[in-house]
DNA sequence: GTCCGATTATGAATGAAATTCATGAATTGA
DNA sequence: TCAATTCATGAATTTCATTCATAATCGGAC
């Protein structure tokens, strides 16, 4: 009766807080999830979801099953790693290139976990950015984390997640009363960003350039440095929501939506198609996804 | 990809030593098992079964997955017990009646495990035998372990396993050269058995009475006592193969097949249909089955 | 209050995929 | 060598999870 897929679903619900986005996460329709849960509930004769108006969470029983799921998945991964160890190909290289500066923040723990699991694989971060990041796969990198998936033959793209870019303002900024910012609002501000060309900045490419607005820019290498500049009123920035929660909670800065619907961006992992068969690559990908969804607030599956 | 059912299958193969009987165990055809294993093998790119002529077992990879299965199932059972604990009905009674004397031997560990898991349930062994054991369910027992499944309305029967009854002889018996015994062979022997009427002895009911042979009988309450009497040449007995392996290995007695095809008997658990819904009953049943197949040699699913 | 948007529930239809069926090949024991 | 087992495999079938279509529910905006 109980199947792996049920546990996957429950965990997705727990982590995303509602059925619809859990459905997206496990690549099913909302209907499928509802049916699954209902089947489980009638089987165990216990409610698994708490449907109290807006707040929608797992009951104790649901939580217990989600917990079961987590231990089971970690057991499965351990076993599958052991299996991979019985293969020949357990050594190799993994050069990771990042298009997105902020990604350093969550990539580190993933890399650590990976190194533990695959001590024979040589992991490297490829620094230096490129106008066509995919071309790095030709010689300099084995996997590229990038935000635009321009398909190219022979390259496989693995969607990681979607997230919102928020405008970051000092706490007492003149725009703080607005619920969301419009392109005009940026006209008189200095935009603080990573040191990359305009077209590599989502806010510029998607919002400001189309509106003909070109605010002065100032750059910093590290996310914390950008935030510090914002906090000290040197300008405003646009950063992924998931990198911000800590600073927002401590009232270091404030964040506002960009445009009525928000400015959304997606992250993908790209690699030479043949590479994705390598067990260690598959494992890295699953570590990657798992980590995003369980650790990063506000990320949504693509 | 990997699913619960695969793990069930692998464990069944490991415990039964070949695909066909594993198939019976999981209530599938042999073909289904083959397909399943093949799918797993191509997915992991590793062989899971060792097909070396006669000896047919799991490879290291297969063993690793079977191990994974076992830990997963024990996790699942733990979780499901916790879920049952969230129910109201966690107390109750469980009076077990046995038709088969030898069953005491393997029932004890099951009862112990059960008592640990369901401390609130009062477990009792109902002693005293009955010509119609099912009728015990009317008032004196909640579950009956019996060897013949005469269906009765409102009673649910749960097949446990099938096993062979072997004739047990002293090591230097005159019949020791025979590969199997025929009814005539019993004519001059004393039959040592549990103290129950002729019709309750499989050997009598199925073999000797139909052949008009009525050897003298002598009885003992305990299996060890019967074996002792046999070893000291007071007669021969017929006992389930799974209760014998210890004694055979130590050359305390020898065992021979009864009839060319052997004398087979089946064991069932019967209970009032409504009872089988109770979570603790379901749990007891699964403990029961699990225990039979993993601990008893030579038992086959029905 | 009610209209709208978002979210969940549910029955029926669909479709993918697991299972069975029908064989063939391989091995063993008589 | 012949029957009897056991496993493998491609095709047919059946099962059952998922999707589709739609209703119900709920909260917030006006």
What's domain B4-84's architecture?
A: Orthogonal Bundle (1.10)
**Each residue's pLDDT expressed in tens, for chain B with a length of 302 residues:** 899 999 999 999 998 888 988 998 899 999 999 999 999 999 988 899 987 666 678 899 999 999 999 999 999 989 998 888 887 767 788 899 888 888 888 888 899 989 988 888 889 988 766 767 777 788 888 998 888 656 677 788 888 888 889 999 999 899 888 888 888 899 889 999 988 888 888 899 888 998 889 999 999 988 889 999 999 999 999 999 888 888 888 889 999 989 888 888 888 888 887 787 777 888 888 888 888 877 887 777 76
Q: Which CATH number fits domain A4-85: 1.20.120.450, 1.10.10.10, 1.10.287.3510, 3.40.50.300?
A: 1.10.10.10
Q: Which CATH number fits domain A163-263: 3.40.50.150, 3.40.50.410, 2.60.40.10, 3.40.190.10?
A: 3.40.190.10
Task: Please state whether strand D lies within 7 Å of residue B38 at its CB atom.
Answer: yes
The pLDDT of A87-94, averaged and rounded, is: 77
A297 pLDDT exceeds 80?
no
In this prediction, residue B299 carries a pLDDT of 79
The pLDDT of A166-184, averaged and rounded, is: 88
- Across all residues in chain A, what is the average pLDDT? 86
**B58 CA → D2 C1’, Å:** 31
Helix (H) or strand (E) holding B184: none
Q: Which fold has domain B163-262?
A: D-Maltodextrin-Binding Protein; domain 2 (3.40.190)
Q: Where in chain B is the domain with CATH 1.10.10.10?
A: 4-84
Cα separation, B282 vs B94, whole angstroms: 12
Compute the C-alpha angle B221/B227/B229, nearest 5°.
Answer: 80
Cα separation, A246 vs A128, whole angstroms: 28
Buried b (16+ CB within 10 A) or exposed e, B116-143: ebbeebebeebeebbeebbebbeeebbb
Q: What distance in Å separates residue A297's CA from the closest CA in chain B? A: 28
Class of domain B91-161+265-295: alpha beta
What string of DSSP letters covers chain A? ---HHHHHHHHHHHHHSSHHHHHHHTTS-HHHHHHHHHHHHHHHTS--EEEETTEEEE-HHHHHHHHHHHHHHHHHHHHHHHHHHHSS---EEEEEEES-GGGHHHHHHHHHHHHHH-TTEEEEEE-S--SSGGGHHHHT-SEEEES-----TTEEEEEEEEEEEEEEE-TT-TTTT-SEE-GGGGTTSPEEE-SS-GGGSHIIIIIITTTT----EEE-SSHHHHHHHHHTTS-EEEEEGGGTHHHHHTTS-EEEEESSS-EEEEEEEEEEGGGGGSHHHHHHHHHHHHHHHHHSTT-B--
Q: Where in chain A is the domain with CATH 3.40.190.10?
A: 91-161+265-295, 163-263
Residue A296 burial (CB count, 10 A): 17
B230: left (phi over 0), alpha (psi -120 to 50) or beta: alpha
**B66 CA → D3 C1’, Å:** 35
Identify the band that residue A153 occupies on the pLDDT scale cut at 50, 70 and 90: confident
- Candidates A11, A58, A59, A72: best to mutate against B (most CBs of B within 10 A) is A72
In this prediction, residue B72 carries a pLDDT of 96
> Chain B residues with CB-CB distance to A under 8 A?
2-4, 44-46, 60-61, 64-65, 67-68, 71-72, 75-76, 78-80, 82-83, 86-87
In this prediction, residue A76 carries a pLDDT of 94
Tens digit of each residue's pLDDT (9 = 90 or more) over A65-75: 999 999 999 99
- Measured CA to CA in angstroms, residue A256 lies from A181, A229, A239 at distances of 7, 17, 10
- Candidates B7, B58, B71, B83: best to mutate against A (most CBs of A within 10 A) is B83
Q: What distance in Å separates residue A77's CA from the closest CA in chain B? A: 10
Buried b (16+ CB within 10 A) or exposed e, B43-72: ebebbbbeeeeeeeebbebbebbbbbbebb
Task: Please state whether strand D lies within 7 Å of residue A72 at its CB atom.
Answer: no
The pLDDT of A152-181, averaged and rounded, is: 85
Q: Do B83 and A72 touch (CB under 8 A)?
A: no
On whether the CB atoms of residues B61 and A85 are closer than 8 A, the answer is no
Tens digit of each residue's pLDDT (9 = 90 or more) over A33-66: 999 999 999 998 888 998 765 567 899 999 999 9
Tens digit of each residue's pLDDT (9 = 90 or more) over A188-241: 899 999 888 888 888 998 889 888 899 999 998 888 899 999 999 999 999 998
Which are the contacts of A172, defined by CB distance < 8 A and separation ≥ 6? none
Task: Please state whether strand D lies within 7 Å of residue A273 at its CB atom.
Answer: no
Residue A232 burial (CB count, 10 A): 9
In this prediction, residue A69 carries a pLDDT of 95
């Amino acid at each position: 009766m109980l199947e792996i897929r049920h546990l996957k679903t429950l965990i997705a619900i727990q982590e995303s807080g509602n059925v619809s986005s859990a459905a997206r996460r496990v690549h099913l329709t909302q209907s499928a999830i509802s049916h699954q849960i209902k089947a489980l509930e009638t089987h165990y004769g216990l409610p698994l979801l708490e449907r109290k108006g807006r707040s929608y969470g797992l009951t104790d029983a649901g939580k217990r099953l989600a917990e079961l799921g987590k231990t089971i998945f970690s057991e499965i991964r351990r076993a599958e790693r052991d299996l991979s160890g019985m293969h020949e190909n357990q050594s190799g290289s993994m050069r990771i290139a990042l298009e997105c500066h902020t990604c350093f923040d969550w990539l580190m723990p993933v890399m650590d976990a990976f190194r533990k699991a695959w001590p024979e694989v040589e992991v490297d971060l490829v620094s230096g950015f490129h106008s066509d990041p995919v071309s790095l796969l030709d010689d300099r990198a084995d996997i590229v984390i990038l935000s635009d998936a321009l398909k190219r033959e022979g390259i496989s793209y693995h969607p990681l997640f979607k997230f919102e870019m928020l405008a970051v303002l000092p706490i007492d900024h003149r725009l703080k009363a607005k619920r969301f910012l419009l392109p005009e609002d940026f006209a008189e501000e200095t935009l603080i960003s990573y040191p990359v060309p305009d077209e590599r900045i989502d806010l510029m490419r998607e919002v400001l350039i189309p509106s003909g607005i070109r605010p002065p820019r100032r750059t910093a290498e590290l996310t914390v440095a950008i935030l510090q500049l914002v906090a000290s009123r040197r300008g405003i920035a646009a950063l992924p929501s998931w990198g911000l929660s800590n600073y927002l909670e401590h009232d270091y800065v404030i964040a506002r939506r960009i445009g009525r619907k928000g400015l959304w961006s997606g992250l993908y992992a790209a690699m030479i198609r043949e590479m994705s068969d390598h067990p260690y690559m598959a494992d890295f990908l699953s570590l990657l996804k798992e980590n995003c969804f369980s650790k990063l607030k506000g990320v949504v599956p693509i």
